[in-house]
Structure 1
């Protein structure tokens, strides 16, 4: 009986979204009021969709002093670099990635990320490059295992079997990476993309990966002084008022407003912020990260139903740390085929993937190294000077003791930030499609959006953008008196 109830709920929600997937003005009657919690990509995308549909009584409450969320530029050693999202992933396929279209419209500087020569750029733990032929053989084996894993995934889905982890599929393919070389290639393939290791990551929802299958396999690095966040501003300016200089001045956007409580009833919501202010509306759209929803920053009154809490707690919030380092001069190879290189340590994921930024910032002498998951959390709990010392030891193993110390270091700390608690969501083993429907499902007049609510594109900028539209359409259907079940009183078991 319970399973049937859940299936009916999902079917009704799916039918609702399908019925209102096209943008445009609709007949609404009274103009309802909506509070949007969070001014990141999803929150702004949802607000614009509501505004386009005629719902203009909108109030956006943002905890920080800016809009953009995890798309955030900052100044580093005289450059404008991205603390968070940095790439447009999924370009060149049959479908157009909406983010790529906006990036081109805004004429942002982008750079194709070419990993084709990786076999010639992998460094041993104690120094020196691996022989390119040896690496190529290991790469071909890894690619073969990926193909086997994808076939396993398709077979599981076709036969309605339970999901397995990527690591389990590797075991079935009789290849679990254990050597430093195999581990760094494995890290580059999975952790570098999903911010978590194969033992955690779902096979069915990553093989094949919808982003690349639908939008194309090309990846472009955004390296523009205007910042990747200008895409969010571009969307916002289409429905919010601005001054003559293009700055958003709309009074419907309130910055430095940390939402701490959402009180929801059958006839509306009351949202309370940390400074003691209260705001009333007919609906609320919560666009904070899944990491924040898994903390106690926002208190829901009444408490969210158990089915909702369980669904929210099942998803993972990955941590992806891009560390920028500035040097007095270059000591690494430059030119074609050298941009990306790997460090193969017996300690998996230890300052493994590297990128020089000579293409993006010529003459800057800046390197970018990425850490994820437990390494990211460890790094966030130590000083930047300690992190710099660790990194310099790795670099001296790769390039020799003669190299200079970094003059500047930038270590983003997304996990420690209470307004984010991580970088982006990852779909772990044990989360079903039905769980995803419950993650994105509203509870009474409380709606949810964010990249974590995007079934096919979670973790990506385009996922955040499309999720905002999707969640807004769900709300619009409710405003139009569509019969969406009130899930507030559903049983847990």
Structure 2
């Protein structure tokens, strides 16, 4: 009996000391990538982890908030496909996803208040559908922009169909800016000439949305608090909010020191950086001591990062039909360049309102729609007062829909501020024109870890921008977090052998 007690005590001390020897890890950023990395480490007995999140919440660019009688997503909105999608795999058994409305058919309105011909809309929808899935080129257009490819296809496949129909061809000749708007919207770029026509992005044929629940639920699923809070991982005490990282001293000794804006200091064996590419671009010269290797800095510079905007609207009363869930806005030449009375910023004679691309009904919430905005006005739009935003949006809705609908007053609005928020500086990454390399994607270069002067791996990089086939997506972010956590786990397992 005594020998048995000694053996049990030995085992207890062995496992406790084994866990204590697990290296410490700091995760910068509490978004999808950071939380995924943390949960993977916790599940593999890495308990000495610290998550430093600059915002006052976790989730990063997943941001679901209460609005009206439901929940709206100010950040990530869609689950892209089902096959091989970690988000879908995590959520499917809970029946909380449903198909999204993505087609433009019979939903496009001209700026004179008429509905665009359904044949034209169908052709535009087919072309823009490929843009949505980032299917511009076929790996034979390297160095070409998405805008160049769309223009070529527009000229070669759409315009010739209507060359003998004078009424339609005139409108279609005005359609380049309409397609431009959707390229900038789907790729989060300022111009459709910024994004590469070629990429390794794996588009999804079906797009899903969340049923009367916010995207934030995926974070709860990751940390195991949904559907049963009693099974939640021991993670709360490891999350430190309002911790803006200011300096990472990574090659001074065996450990890494991370300093935050509130003068706190943290030390660890490894650091996983998951903050947005926009933040890395802005802080690459000041955040790291010593500076990052030139190859890593070049990867950051070569990677594209942009933004889109969203304004959620609650109307005083319902004015649309039950079967209407999307309105898209096609500006004609005679209305282009209009300066409306709502005031607000202008550039080159254009009002900010021309960058309002479409309006989509949010399912399960009474009288609530969302406006999507893209282009080069985002910083200015994010700082506009609510009354000017309301006035400008109301003007657009009355102009496009006033002849067919009795548009009621916008009661409340909620806008995104991703571009001006110093903790994000945008919404998602994209592949820059001229930067496509099939043998060494820029995302892969961005993901490569950095070793210190002794050759030991110290800095690891995760986030949607580091995934070469699923960049811009939440599933890409989650997979990247798992990837870097598993990298540490494998290193430790190898050293223990």
TM-score (norm 2): 0.78
How many residue pairs match? The answer is: 429
Q: Give the 3-state SS of the residue equivalent to 1:429 in structure 2.
A: coil
With over 3 angstroms needed to count, the CA separation of the structure-2 counterparts of 1:111 and 1:136, relative to structure 1, is same
2:293 to 284, 287, 305: 305
Q: Check the 8 A contact 1:342/1:353 in 2, yes or no.
A: yes
- 2:247 and 2:488 map into 1 onto residues whose CA distance is 21
**Cα drift, residue 173 of structure 1:** 4.3
**Cα drift, residue 462 of structure 1:** 0.5
- What do residues 139-178 of structure 1 show as CA deviations (whole Å, max 9, x unaligned)? 45x379979x95952335xxxxx43211233455472998
Q: Check the 8 A contact 2:223/2:235 in 1, yes or no.
A: no
Q: Which residue of structure 2 aligns with residue 450 of structure 1? A: 463
- What do residues 190-245 of structure 1 show as CA deviations (whole Å, max 9, x unaligned)? 33322224311112116xx4032xxxx111122434x211211221238x9x9859
Q: Check the 8 A contact 2:355/2:374 in 1, yes or no.
A: no
1:356 aligns to 2:361 (yes or no): yes
- 2:135 and 2:66 map into 1 onto residues whose CA distance is 41
- 1:247 and 1:57 map into 2 onto residues whose CA distance is 14
Unaligned runs of 5+ in 1: 1-26, 157-161, 483-493
- 2:21 and 2:460 map into 1 onto residues whose CA distance is 20
1:322 to 310, 313, 317: 310
**Cα drift, residue 184 of structure 1:** 2.3
- 1:463 and 1:88 map into 2 onto residues whose CA distance is 11
1:119-198 paired onto structure 2 within 5 Å: 119-139=105-125, 142=127, 152-155=137-140, 162-173=142-153, 175=155, 179-185=173-179, 187-188=181-182, 190-196=183-189, 197-198=191-192
**Cα drift, residue 316 of structure 1:** 2.1
- What do residues 374-411 of structure 1 show as CA deviations (whole Å, max 9, x unaligned)? 13223113222212211111000122285332010111
Q: Give the 3-state SS of the residue equivalent to 2:237 in structure 1.
A: coil
1:222 to 177, 193, 210: 210
1:82 to 73, 81, 86: 73
With over 3 angstroms needed to count, the CA separation of the structure-2 counterparts of 1:244 and 1:478, relative to structure 1, is closer
Q: Which residue of structure 2 aligns with residue 43 of structure 1? A: 34
1:271 aligns to 2:254 (yes or no): no
1:408 to 406, 412, 415: 412
Q: Check the 8 A contact 2:224/2:231 in 1, yes or no.
A: no
- 1:372 and 1:144 map into 2 onto residues whose CA distance is 17
Q: Check the 8 A contact 1:83/1:322 in 2, yes or no.
A: yes
Greater than 4 Å deviation, 4+ residue runs:
137-140, 143-147, 149-152, 171-174, 242-249, 346-349
Q: Which residue of structure 2 aligns with residue 398 of structure 1? A: 400
2:203 to 178, 198, 211: 211
1:350-389 paired onto structure 2 within 5 Å: 350-357=355-362, 359-361=363-365, 364-389=366-391
- 2:231 and 2:140 map into 1 onto residues whose CA distance is 56
Q: Which residue of structure 1 aligns with residue 91 of structure 2? A: 103
- 1:87 and 1:151 map into 2 onto residues whose CA distance is 21
Unaligned runs of 5+ in 2: 1-17, 160-171, 337-352, 452-457
- What do residues 8-30 of structure 1 show as CA deviations (whole Å, max 9, x unaligned)? xxxxxxxxxxxxxxxxxxx9993
With over 3 angstroms needed to count, the CA separation of the structure-2 counterparts of 1:128 and 1:219, relative to structure 1, is same
Q: Which residue of structure 1 aligns with residue 443 of structure 2? A: 436
- 2:248 and 2:39 map into 1 onto residues whose CA distance is 22
- 2:233 and 2:48 map into 1 onto residues whose CA distance is 21
- What do residues 274-330 of structure 1 show as CA deviations (whole Å, max 9, x unaligned)? 111111111111110001111138611111122211211222222121211111112
RMSD (CA atoms):
3.1
1:420 to 415, 424, 433: 424
**Cα drift, residue 114 of structure 1:** 3.0
TM-score (norm 1): 0.79
- 1:150 and 1:254 map into 2 onto residues whose CA distance is 40
2:195 to 201, 205, 217: 201
**Cα drift, residue 422 of structure 1:** 0.8
With over 3 angstroms needed to count, the CA separation of the structure-2 counterparts of 1:129 and 1:61, relative to structure 1, is same
